[in-house]
Amino acid sequence: MTVTREPRLDEPPPGRTAGRPDERGAVDFDGVYHAHFRPLTLQLAAYCGDLSQAQDLVQEAFCRAFARWSRVSRYDDPVAWVRRVAWNLATSRWRRLRTAQSWLHRQREEHVPGPGPDRVALTAALAQLPTTQRRAVVLHYLADLTVGQIAEQEGVPEGTVKSWLHRGRAALAAQLTTTNEVNHHE
């Protein structure tokens, strides 16, 4: 009876040499990965204090090594290159976090009071206007555009914009007067 078992994470796949150079002086990537992923992860976990972050960093270092494996595999110690990249990634991540936290600490929380009753009434009254009138009123009074600029933007004659403004102002006056009267009676 032959018993086979799954290869462990820290062992190379069957039939592979773990980190031994071939006749060209190149080292097998799979063997290096399987032999060194776990030890490198444990080193970085001790440095970072977070196992999943360490796994991500080592994985990223191996991905970068794989992209350059034809060159990295010929180094005297390709694992040292992967280790250095993983440590550099961890240091860069730590620096980014430190910078972000420093920026957050410098930010002041500003408490802005909510809108007043006049602002609420105006917003509600504007919402009741037809779209063209509302747009004309907002562009003229809030964006400080002239009648000519609004006409050009909307692609209509100036007389049409004047009409929208007149009707919009009249409707707003009626709605705000009604709202004001209701508020005074309460």
pLDDT in tens, 26-40: 678 999 999 999 999
Whole-angstrom distance, CA of residue 85 vs CA of residue 43? 13
The pLDDT confidence band at residue 16, using thresholds 50, 70 and 90, is: very low
Burial bucket for residue 131 (CB in 10 Å: 0-12, 13-18, 19+):
exposed
This model's pTM is above 0.75:
no
Q: Which residues pair with 27 in a beta bridge?
A: 21
Cα 117 to chain centroid, rounded = 36
pLDDT in tens, 31-89: 999 999 999 999 999 988 899 999 999 999 999 999 999 999 999 999 999 999 999 99
